[in-house]
Structure formats: structure tokens, C-alpha cells
Amino acid sequence: MNDDKGRPDLRINGERLVSSIKEMGSIGFDPETGGRTRLALSDADKKGRDLLCRWMHEEGLDVKIDQIGNIFGVREGTDPSELPVMMGSHIDTVRDAGMFDGVYGVFGGLEVIRTLNENKVRTRKPLALAAFTNEEGARFQPDMMGSLFYTGTVGLEELLSSKDENGLTAADELDRIGYRGSGTVRAGRYIELHIEQGPRLYAEGLPIGVVRGIQGLAWWAGEYCGESNHAGSTPMDMRKDALLGVAELAAEAEKLALRLGNGSVATMGKISPKPDIINIIPGKCSFTLDFRQFEKSLFEEGKGEIERLITACAEKRGLKYNFRKVAEAPAVVFDSGMVELAERVSARLGLASKRMVSGASHDAQFLSPFCPTVMIFVPSKDGRSHCPEEWTEAEDLENGCNVLLHSVLELV
């Protein structure tokens, strides 16, 4: 029952974990696509929430809903003055999603609580399980709505007034599904278990990723202006082709990311030449640029270089240009003590782990400034996510959940 340090040497029930994830995965399931859709505050999201709340009640948790619909379940500790160690993630999905994104973190936390309950383990600090509202942002923007509200990063009124494409507000939809509450639970620590949603762990055959932070992100939108003209009668050396300037910028941005290395990524996701006609030289071309990097100095260098390239690629071809930065979020660095804890626990369980930086955003990044936070990743088959092919093997799900269990046991 106890290991050599007197800690309960428990293991979670992998079959129960997988069957719970599958049951949630059947809600909103579409047999035609093989995916499931539980957009935030939809009927399917309500069904998922109802299932989670039922299971929380069955484990004797004190269930609280806050003003943005975040769901918390609290398992009491023996010392009421302590803040809870919180586990959690989200249960909303994108369209035609896999069954693991978010759900794994919530039901992984539930499985930890079930394991403690069936082994009658009392803890000094309380434990809390959280499901944050609208992490995906597939229906209402901004994404991460629940954690933005929870951490006071964005005000309630602004979030509640967000409208979906049919003009329905988040406030009305929260009321309709019955999940606008008034409770809350403060977190003392936060651990989010999640699938990697990228290819690295799977490719390297590693069971555990310990996430040391989330990379910084900068977005620009801009436009190059040259001259539209006849595609047949304008010689190549007398053109001012805006699209060619943007094409060169795309190639230069790739070179920059490769040169900076260390996980730098640069993407031009949106390019619109005008007039966008087969026999006219594009006189205008608008574009977006997305640059991400975790290390502060490289992030700063990359941002400066991107802006220099936007200018240089236009001037080289005599194009006019304008651009502006439309978003910037600095990297989030998770608490080093929490990172070391997850690594230590993985090693003790005989599971190889690597430190990694998350490429995607998560609720944990907003919790991190408020309480010591870490994320634990498990492999995603072929790095696929946000699609019906999203897959993680049962053994990997079980391993990650055991790392969560023992990390929590060291904290409570």
C-alpha cells in the first residue's frame, strides 16, 4: 500500500479511464465523419457537462459552477485552511474532433479522485477538478473563455456578450443550458494533463512530456501594393507584382525560422492577391504572418527580423507596404518546481520523459501567473489532433494519469 517513503503506492484504473473517455466521446458523435462535435454551450456540451457533474457527484465532490460556466468539483482535505491542488482541462470540442483533447485532462483528474476514493486516501489539502468553459473558441471568441474569466484576464461582461455566427450570446446560451452559476474555487496549484497534439513524443517513442511552458506568439497583418497590369503585354522587368513580394517574404520567413532554430516557427496562413484573376498581375496582396518562439531573446530577435523582412521584401520590388502587429502574447514559463516534480514522478514510475514547450495554447497558460502550474503531455499518434483521427494508446493514457496521480499525491 505504501512505498518506501510512506506514500500510498497506488495506480489508476486504466480501463475505467478509457471507458469514461469513450462515453464522453459518444456525446455529439457523428458516424458519418467519425468525429464528435460539442461546441461550447451547445446541447451536446450540456450533455457532456451533465455527465461530468453526475460523475463528480457520485464521487462525493462539492460541485460549483461559476459565472462563465466553469465547473469545479472539490474533494475536501483535512486542513480547511489550505487551497486545493487543481487538476483540469476542458470538455468542449472543435467540429468533428477526436475524443481526447481536453477530455483526457478532466477525466484523468476524475480518475485520480476515483482512485483516491476507492483506496480511502485522505489528503491534507483539498483536491479540485476543473472543466473550463469554451477552451476551443470554435463557436464563441475568444477561446480560453473560462480560464480568461477565472484569472480575471478578461472581464465577465465582455465574454458574456460574445456572439456566435447566429447572433446568440454566450450569456443567453449559458442560461439556456443551465450553467450560469455564482460559485468559484480558488486554486493553490494547477496540473493539466493533455495529449501533445503534435508529433514529437510519438516520433521519439517517449511516454511522457513535461511541459515547461508555452511559446510566445506574434501575429502581423499587412499588404503590399504594386501595379495591376496585363499579364501578356507587361515585360517581367517592368512589373510591380505584389504577390511576388509576398511569395518572397514567405520564403524568407521560412529561412528565418530555420536559422533561429530552437523550435522557431513562422507561418503565412492567409494570402490574398488582388484582383485574383488569371491574366492580371496582382497589384495588391494582403497577408498574415505568425511567428512563435519560447526563448525570450530569440522571440525578440525573430520579431525584429520579421518586421525588417516585411519592409525589405517590399522595397526590393518597389512596392508600397503597410503592416501592423495584430496580436502578441509573450511565452509562458511554468513553475520550475512543478516541472521538476513531474519529471521526478515520471522517473520514479519508470517512465521516460522529456521537457518540452507546448506549441498550442492551453488554459494552463492563464492559470500559470496565479499559481504554480505544470502540464503533462502524452503522445498523439502521428501528431494528429482536432480531427477524428486523433488517437492516444490506452497504455499512454494510463501512464500519463499515473504521473498526474503521483504528482498530486506529492502536493496534497
Give Cα 59 distance to the centre of its chain. 27
In angstroms, give the least distance from the CB of 145 to Zn ion: 13
Give the pairing type, strands 208-214 and 353-358. parallel
In angstroms, give the least distance from the CB of 214 to Zn ion: 12
In angstroms, give the least distance from the CB of 88 to Zn ion: 11
In angstroms, give the least distance from the CB of 108 to Zn ion: 12
As beta bridge partners, residue 373 has: 190
In angstroms, give the least distance from the CB of 401 to Zn ion: 16
In angstroms, give the least distance from the CB of 104 to Zn ion: 9
Q: 275: cis peptide before it, omega within 30°?
A: yes
Distance CA 34, CA 97 (A): 9
Give the H or E element holding residue 344: helix 336-348
Of 101 and 343, nearer to Zn ion (C-beta) is: 101
Of 111 and 252, nearer to Zn ion (C-beta) is: 111
In angstroms, give the least distance from the CB of 294 to Zn ion: 19
- What sign does the dihedral 327-330-335-340 (CA atoms) show? positive
Exposed/middle/buried for residue 289 (C-beta within 10 Å: 0-12, 13-18, 19+): buried
Size (the chain), residues? 412
Give the pairing type, strands 373-378 and 85-89. unpaired
Distance CA 42, CA 166 (A): 12
CA dihedral 40, 41, 44, 50 (to 10 degrees): 110
Of 116 and 356, nearer to Zn ion (C-beta) is: 356
Residue 134 in contact with residue 41, Cβ under 8 Å? yes
Of 139 and 239, nearer to Zn ion (C-beta) is: 139
Distance CA 332, CA 347 (A): 25
In angstroms, give the least distance from the CB of 347 to Zn ion: 26
In angstroms, give the least distance from the CB of 292 to Zn ion: 17
Of 95 and 317, nearer to Zn ion (C-beta) is: 95
Residue type for 168, please?
L
Of 132 and 291, nearer to Zn ion (C-beta) is: 132
Of 101 and 223, nearer to Zn ion (C-beta) is: 101
Residue type for 53, please?
C
Distance CA 123, CA 82 (A): 11
Of 101 and 390, nearer to Zn ion (C-beta) is: 101
* Those residues with Cβ within 8 angstroms of residue 149's Cβ, 6 or more apart along the chain or in another chain: 66, 67, 68, 70, 133, 155, 156, 159
Interface ranges with Zn ion (CB under 5 A): 101-102
In the bound state, the residue with its beta carbon closest to Zn ion is: 102
Of 102 and 222, nearer to Zn ion (C-beta) is: 102
Residue 363 in contact with residue 86, Cβ under 8 Å? no
Of 385 and 402, nearer to Zn ion (C-beta) is: 385
Strands (E) located in 226-270: 265-267
In angstroms, give the least distance from the CB of 105 to Zn ion: 7
Find the largest Cα–Cα distance for the chain. Answer: 84
